[in-house]
Chains A and B, each alone.
Chain A
Amino acid sequence: MKTAGRWLIVLSLLSALYGASCPPPLKPGDPLRGLSAAELQRFERGRAAFARVFTPETGLGPLFNADGCAECHEDPAVGGSGDEVEVHRALLRPDGFCDPLADRGGPVFQQHATPALQAALGIDHEPEPAESTARAARSTPDVFGFGLLEAVPDSEIIAYADPDDRDGDGISGRPNFSLDGRLGRFGRKAFVPTLKEFVEGAYVIEQGITDPAVPTEESIGGRPIPAGVDTVPEPEIGQEELDLTEDFTRFLAAPQPLPLGGEGQRGRAIFEKIGCASCHLPSLTTGDSPVRALRYQRVYAYTDLLLHDMGAERADICFGQALPSEFRTEPLMGAHLMKTFLHDGAAKSIEEAVELHGGEAAAAKARFDGLPKGERAALLKFLNSL
């Protein structure tokens, strides 16, 4: 009895110690664990910058898709996904060259115009060029854990590429590159090399907010902005606000998956067995980083960050070296938080998203369709836990 009492004391102390020393489970929108006090402070200030709402008087537009980062990246927390869908266009020339229509305002065509632009040109969105060969819808993904994806070395991504399918498994992931030849990884076509550039460009294309990295406004379908329509001096935000926004996105933690029961564990094995993991690679490992919390971390992103052929039915625009039917493997981390799936938000459930896979994924999809009811349920249980 006395011994049992002592053990009870020890267990209580250990339990109290564990509770006091470990933070509660990560919630969506929380920062990475292991950030320094200074980084945490920048994260919090960056969240405020990310949530800032712009008006025409503070630089919004004249063309824009949203009045702030968090207008779209909002669910279930700042940095999350959104129900906004934007429009991209490109021209695939007969010789195979992909023209992003930069001289016509492409590839992103903004869906809103400020009152001043509406009054000047009588338009409420950017005109879309008739010469484009395809129009793409792009849903709003969350950006949780993207700092970890940025920290994955190029060499690791390249190592998973198999453009000529030399291993004969029917999967031939290949990298995309930005216009200056660097490896891309962000965006649905893996066109953007770094999170920093993604944020720098997003301020301008999404909100019409110029920044020190992009100090000129987007054109109006390739034409200049009429005089007097945007009188706010460039750049419309300073370097500090830009850096804070970048740090907020960089320091966002990856979503914590839901606990896996026995059925989910079986589902994980089925995920591997039927070939989903050939593209949705369960984990990547970060390399060296000036941020210790990003350094040499394993990130369970369920992507290889490479382009794969998704089939003719899903094809839309080319971008960089990505062909119309090629898309970067969508990260599945945070799948349990998502309300729509695929690059265009066409699927309302994971099951529907699987059914819309084609191209290189056709064989895995056929195996999914052939699963017994229980195995199919187990796989969906696993996917919905990510």
Chain B
Amino acid sequence: MRLAHRAVLLAFAAPIAAALLCTCSAAQPPAPAAATAPERLTGTVTAVHAQPRSFDLVTAVGHSLRSRRVLQPAGVTIEAHGAATAPAALYPGCIVRVECRSGPTGAVASKIELLQTPSARP
């Protein structure tokens, strides 16, 4: 009778012990991001050109890098913290976010935001 009692206890304890020893779980994989338009690029400036006013922007997906010439039309200013800043604020090493569309000689910016200068890096 005592042996039977132990067997019953063991039968109840077994699933609990199994659950404690090994846990399995369910989770959902992350959803893919949606594309946006117009094209928005965030990258590092590698060169700045005066005529025509433009800069070279390098973007990265992993170790795959792309260099783009971005034209800055007259009237499109460089913004930093929501305010217009001088063109000289842009130099190699700066991180910018650009909204642009494709043109015959490169991307044409409609908005340029200066996000970070090399000296402001952590």
Contacts and interface: CB of A to CB of B under 8 A. Distances in A.
Interface of A: 6, 10, 13-14, 17-18, 20-23, 33-39, 42, 93, 95, 97, 99-100, 102-103, 106-108, 158, 175, 177-181, 186-187, 191-192, 197-202, 204-205, 213-214, 216, 218, 239, 243, 247, 289-293, 295, 321
Contact of A100 (B23, B32, B58): B58
A21 B18 contact: yes
B111 to A, nearest CB: 16
Interface of B: 3, 6, 10, 14, 17-18, 21-30, 32, 42-44, 46, 56, 58-67, 92-93, 95, 115-116, 118, 121-122
A218 B64 contact: yes
Given A179-B95, A201-B64, A247 B22 contact: no
A179 B62 contact: no
A192 B27 contact: no
Contacts of A177: 121
Contacts of B122: 158, 175
Contacts of A198: 62-63
Contact of B121 (A10, A187, A321): A321
B62 A199 contact: yes
Contact of A204 (B6, B14, B22, B64): B64
Contacts, number: 135
B44 A179 contact: yes
A290 B43 CA distance: 28
B62 to A, nearest CB: 2
A43 B121 CA distance: 38
A295 B64 CA distance: 29
Nearest to A189: B63
B66 A22 contact: no
B107 to A, nearest CB: 13
11 contacts: A13-B14, A177-B121, A178-B60, A179-B44, A179-B58, A180-B95, A187-B63, A198-B63, A199-B62, A216-B66, A290-B30
Residue among A42, A158, A175, A178 with the highest chain B CB neighbour number at 10 A = A178
Contact of A102 (B22, B28, B65): B65
Contacts of A103: 46, 56, 67
A138 to B, nearest CB: 10
Contact of A36 (B26, B62, B121): B26
B62 A200 contact: yes
A180 B60 CA distance: 8
A291 B29 CA distance: 6
Contacts of A35: 24-25, 27
A202 B65 CA distance: 11
Given A13-B10, A291-B29, A23 B63 contact: no
A17 B12 CA distance: 12
A64 B60 CA distance: 18
A179 B30 contact: no
Contact of A290 (B14, B27, B61, B115): B27
B101 to A, nearest CB: 17
B61 A197 contact: yes
A41 to B, nearest CB: 11
Residue among B58, B60, B118 with the highest chain A CB neighbour number at 10 A = B60
A177 B120 CA distance: 13
B32 A243 contact: yes
